[in-house]
Amino acid sequence: MKKKIFLLSLTLWAYTLTVLPQTPGAGSNRLPSFAAMYNQKLFGENVFIFDPSMDMKDIQILIDTLYNRQHPRESEFSPNRYALMFKPGTYQVDLKLGYYMQILGLGKSPDDVVINGTIISKGLKNGNVTLNFWRAIENLTVVSPSGALNIWGVSQAAPLRRMHIKGDIQLHDDGWASGGFIADSKIEGTVLAGGQQQWFTRNADISKWDRGSWNIMFMGVPNAPEDRWPENQYTVLPQTSLVREKPYLVLDKSQYKISIPALQKNTAGVSWTRSGNTGSSSTLKEFYIAFPETDNALTLNKALSKGKNIFFTPGIYKLDQSMKVTRPGTLIMGVGMATLVSTNGNPVMEISDVDGVTVCGLTVDAGKIQSETLMRVGETRTGKSHEKNPILLYDIFMRVGGYGAGTTSSCLVINSNDVIVDHTWLWRADHGKEVAWDKNTSKNGLIVNGDNVTVYGLFCEHFQEYQTLWNGNGGRVYFYQSEMPYDPPTAEAFKHGSVNGYASYKVADGVTSHQAWGLGIYCVFFKAPVIVDQAIETPEAIEKDIHHKIIYWLYGGHKESIIKSIINGKGGHADVNTVKRTMK
């Protein structure tokens, strides 16, 4: 049965200003009863779908209302989750994004949805965007008015994908900024990186890139700045060796579909102007649509056992058992920063060692009961090849604490071969609720046991041992951003055996092949004079394959703390007097 979408009058939209809750809290997800008229039954109360025939003032009022609620600092750990979707057509609005907001175009091409306006993701106090996490925008064209500036002031967990921006875009808000991710996007104006400390741009067409501070990497970007590392901050690789762009939601006439781009090798520039990238699609009939109010591990596993894919609508899902993904080719997709929480010491998801599983757009939280890991890809290391049909993870954001109590030994364990991860942030919280060395405990962010695993854009921070532990052969990492933990109470607490500290990036002694480019590793040990022997630790034969490395001693740390070397005792130290070291 076709779902009717009613146009809301200006009076009804104005009414939302008084009915929609204005501050975060337990009731913040409850919308007024008339929202049921607005595609309530299809994607739930936290998804808004706009049509170009609507009054633009009405749309702007709703965007502003949600932004005003989700932008303030107190919304950083809000329970609210929202997706705003635009049908093909032209709109006169400004796109404002705060915490847990995702804006999506529903066209087959980004050019099918045209926004005459700007993108706005501004900083908090003094333009600081180092806490601007958990938001996303994709599959739109933005045409900026003359003299207007798009402000995409973000740090981690804020992907900008499949966008066509006709104008300039600023990646900061005239204050501190700490990292981000662009993929499959065309920017006709200037990208104003300013003081952005680190950034990864993959498969993009840009007219001009301006500045950026420490570790800025481009891959498959034809007009990237010149790479003169370490004299400048840029790492440039001309092509992306193997990637399939992230699946996306499309409204094809009156039918919703998930479009799945084709796997492509040795690419540069955007996928949506390139021939031969037709891919495939799935209708929503092939998906179980999940809602946070009614779904749990039992209902999700029942749907998976029937051969369904899963589409998570915005919200928080509490799972007391693992989701068991056993069917080859299963697609699991979340919108609106849908969040899965472990409540019983379980992983939220266990993926079997099968071909072509795709998981995208999910936030995963550790629970009060310690888990061994939060997501496992492959039950064990079997050696099975997935070269022709890889397992892919996109925009997976994992958290340990900050929102409340959380503990896990690790966040993500990859046992399977031939897995591609396209943008992830693994975060042991350094601020928020239940945050302390003995509270939100977690040893490692990422553990890779499989062979030929590739990660594009690995952000991994604050864990209590190795941030990243790589045990498989043939691994590749393109861009790495990592802060060591802020809070070891003593130097001894962050020491093992005779080795001072834990390297952030550890390639195990038995590994014979591994490559990485653009690694930025930073320390700020607030409580103790922590000593770290090396930021990167690898077998000696692999040192030459770890390219473009930087370590940085961040202001505010204990003045006697030190990273003694970049890699394996080589490359120089970083301390209060020599805060920055680079190595080719």
Separation of alpha carbons 519 and 183, rounded Å = 19
**Residue 388: CB atoms within 10 Å:** 9
Residue 193's nearest CA partner among 185, 202, 181, 205 is 181
Number of H helices, E strands in the chain: 4, 47
**Residue 34: CB atoms within 10 Å:** 14
- Which one is catalytic: 483, 492, 540, 543? 483
Confirm if 517 and 478 have CB atoms less than 8 A apart.
yes
User: What's the token pair of residue 337?
Assistant: 């920063």
Confirm if 13 and 63 have CB atoms less than 8 A apart.
no
Alpha helices by DSSP H, listed for 291-376, are 297-305
State in Å, rounded, how far the first CA of the chain is from the last one. Answer: 60
Confirm if 183 and 422 have CB atoms less than 8 A apart.
yes
Confirm if 238 and 228 have CB atoms less than 8 A apart.
no
Separation of alpha carbons 495 and 74, rounded Å = 35
Q: Is the peptide bond before 314 cis (omega within 30 degrees of 0)?
A: no
SS3 538: coil
Tokens 């790495």 sit on residue:
480
Quick check: is 434 catalytic? no
Q: Is the peptide bond before 230 cis (omega within 30 degrees of 0)?
A: yes
Cβ-based neighbours of 527, under 8 Å, separated by 6 or more: 486, 487, 488, 489, 490, 558
The DSSP symbol for 125 reads G
Separation of alpha carbons 447 and 398, rounded Å = 14
* Size (the chain), residues: 584
Q: Which residues are catalytic?
A: 483
